[in-house]
Amino acid sequence: MNDAAKRCGFIAVLGQPNAGKSTLVNAFVGSKVSIVSPKVQTTRRRILGLTIHEQTQLIFVDTPGIFTPKRSLEKSMVKTALEARQGADKVLLIVDARQKSFEASFAVLKQLGEHQSIVLVLNKIDLIDRQRLLAIIQKFQAFPQISDTFMISALTGEGVSDLLQWLAVRMPQSPWLYPEDQMTDLPLRLWAAEITREQLVLQLEHELPYETYVETETWENFENGSVKIQQAVVVARLAQKGIILGRQGQRIKAISQRARIEMEKHLGHPVHLFLFVKVTDDWMDKPHLLREAGILDS
């Protein structure tokens, strides 16, 4: 393709926790680059999802949800989200259209300010009736920074390709910044850690200690194509170890099994996954450990 015809740009994907940001980025990319769960604060770091549409390479920046942070991990997550706007060619604000009150979304809009235009994306329209959508759109009219509004379901895919097409032709002319077949900037070791964390979130639900994170300790590729991955599930207190292990280790076994299947699905070859639990006191208040967990960049 003629380089002069190419386009490439960054699209920041912002919104409250649980709005469906990661589901949407995965839908754009057509693969699970970012983990998804029914719980808030699933995404803890900035993750790029890359896709090509005709002459355009679109670089979606998935972010942690924006909310009022209290703990240091939360503060760094919200900071990461707000910083994703810098240098973005378009900013999408994903809003869960099913919410009863939109006050929290209005607060996010106020926080984002008026200097950068925002594309409002009402998500989860599969869950509400169309009549309500018009009334919701009217509620957002008080914000002049909203340049356009889309209504989508990231889960069913409704409206997603229209939005992709719309974004693609609005990206600046530029050579592509990433190789054509690359889907994310996340190194495989971190991606695999995220896949295991997704299973922890899904299988432990409210029992999962907030502080838990996963670290890939070793990664060995074998000649027959299979891979051996050893990961630590890091918890803050000894008492939390038992929650992760479950009775006779049944829970960690189930987590490991599901995570392995997910990894194999995406990697396309057999995975031997070994999980163990490690206790590290109060890691969330220690910047060097936050950095190790990929939450602080520098």
Provide the annotated binding site for GTP. Answer: 15-22, 62-66, 123-126
Residue 120 near residue 94, CB atoms below 8 Å: no
3-state secondary structure of 48: strand
For ligand GTP, which residue of 7, 10, 17, 73 counts as binding (CB under 6 A)?
A: 17
Least Å from the CB of residue 66 to Mg ion:
12
Under rule CB under 6 A, which residues in 55-74 are in contact with ligand GTP?
64-65
For ligand GTP, which residue of 108, 122, 154, 295 counts as binding (CB under 6 A)?
A: 154
Which span sits near ligand GTP by CB under 6 A: 34-42, 100-108, 177-185, 290-298? 34-42
153 near ligand GTP (CB under 6 A): yes
Residue 123 near residue 95, CB atoms below 8 Å: yes
Cα(251)–Cα(247) distance, rounded to whole angstroms? 7
Name the nearest CA neighbour of 282 among 223, 219, 215, 209: 209
Contacts made by residues 258-265, CB under 8 angstroms, sequence distance 24+: 258/199, 258/202, 258/203, 259/195, 259/196, 259/198, 259/199, 262/32, 262/195, 262/198, 262/199, 263/192, 263/195, 263/229
For ligand GTP, which residue of 52, 82, 155, 279 counts as binding (CB under 6 A)?
A: 155
Q: Which residues contact 16 (CB under 8 A, 6 or more apart)?
A: 65, 66, 67, 95, 96, 104, 105, 108
Least Å from the CB of residue 42 to Mg ion:
5
* β-sheet with 227-235: strand ranges across: 213-221, 227-235, 271-279
Task: Find which of ligand GTP, Mg ion, none residue 154 binds, CB within 5 to 8 Å per kind.
Answer: ligand GTP
76 near ligand GTP (CB under 6 A): no
For ligand GTP, which residue of 7, 90, 124, 260 counts as binding (CB under 6 A)?
A: 124
200 near ligand GTP (CB under 6 A): no
For ligand GTP, which residue of 9, 42, 109, 112 counts as binding (CB under 6 A)?
A: 42
Cα(108)–Cα(102) distance, rounded to whole angstroms? 10
Task: Find which of ligand GTP, Mg ion, none residue 124 binds, CB within 5 to 8 Å per kind.
Answer: ligand GTP
Count other C-beta atoms under 10 Å from residue 31's C-beta.
Answer: 14
For ligand GTP, which residue of 31, 41, 99, 174 counts as binding (CB under 6 A)?
A: 41
Least Å from the CB of residue 153 to Mg ion:
16
Site of interaction with ligand GTP (CB under 6 A): 15, 17-23, 36-38, 40-43, 64-65, 123-124, 126-127, 153-155
